[in-house]
């Protein structure tokens, strides 16, 4: 499904063209609790900081190295916290970042994938009509669809959601980690058990 959507970017092509940025610092890293339970995904940059600070250790490495004049370090693919952290199971903060993550940077109206900076949050039921700021009423939305929708309801705007917005609970986040884990063999043994 993602693949067919990815081919459908057509007119507003969202793929950032600028290269050669050190994008490996944005590679996703699986974060395990001290007990090896997968708890999160972070960017390689943050994972490296946690490792350098002695908060976490690298369990699996990417083939790539990050180089500075004085040292070179393998980029982690999986890290594990050295001290057990109690992770509240029920809720994740309702934040722009988490909603974009839940919606996988995909506009929930046109189905195209964008960079986070090109996405905005849309209230499905507009705030002006009393729509709350909740997981179930906020979705990732591209600027073009946001403009089309404005302050109207789904019916008025003739837009429809590509899927029902759900709360980002443990189930969703485990699912997300598994989905991403398919692209990284090294994650599998921590996610599929
Ligand atoms: Zn859109």
Q: How far is the CA of 109 from the centre of ligand 1 (A)?
A: 5
Q: How far is the CA of 159 from the centre of ligand 1 (A)?
A: 10
Domains of the chain: 23-88+170-191 (no CATH), 91-157 (1.10.30.50)
What distance in Å separates the CA atoms of residue 139 and residue 161, rounded to the nearest whole number?
A: 9
**Residue 140 neighbours by CB distance under 10 Å:** 25
What distance in Å separates the CA atoms of residue 157 and residue 160, rounded to the nearest whole number?
A: 9
Average pLDDT over residues 45-57: 94
Q: Does residue 11 contact residue 59 with C-beta atoms inside 8 Å?
A: no
pTM of this prediction exceeds 0.75: no
Q: What is the pLDDT of residues 83-103, one digit of tens each?
A: 998 766 555 667 888 888 889
| pLDDT given for residue 46 in this prediction | 92
Average pLDDT over residues 14-20: 53
Q: How far is the CA of 53 from the centre of ligand 1 (A)?
A: 40
Beta-bridge partner residues of 57: 80
| pLDDT given for residue 95 in this prediction | 81
- The DSSP secondary-structure symbol of 119 reads E
Q: How far is the CA of 8 from the centre of ligand 1 (A)?
A: 12
Average pLDDT over residues 182-187: 72
- The DSSP secondary-structure symbol of 150 reads T
């Amino acid at each position: 499904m993602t693949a067919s959507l990815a081919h459908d970017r057509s007119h507003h092509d969202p793929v950032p063209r600028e290269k050669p940025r050190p994008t490996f610092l944005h590679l996703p890293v699986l974060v395990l609790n001290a007990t090896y339970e997968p708890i999160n995904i972070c960017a390689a940059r943050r994972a490296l900081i946690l490792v350098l600070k002695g908060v976490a250790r690298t369990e699996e490495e990417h083939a790539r190295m990050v180089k500075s004049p004085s040292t070179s370090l393998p980029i982690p693919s999986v890290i594990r916290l050295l001290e057990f952290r109690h992770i509240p199971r029920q809720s994740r903060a309702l934040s722009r970042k988490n909603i974009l993550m839940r919606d996988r940077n995909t506009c929930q109206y046109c189905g195209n994938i964008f960079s986070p900076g090109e996405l905005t949050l849309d209230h499905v039921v507009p705030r002006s009509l009393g729509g709350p700021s909740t997981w179930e009423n906020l979705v990732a939305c591209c600027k073009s669809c946001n403009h089309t929708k404005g302050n109207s309801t789904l019916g008025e705007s003739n837009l429809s959601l590509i899927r029902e917005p759900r709360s980002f609970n443990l189930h969703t986040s485990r699912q997300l980690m598994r989905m991403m884990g398919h692209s990284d063999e090294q994650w599998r043994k921590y996610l599929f058990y």
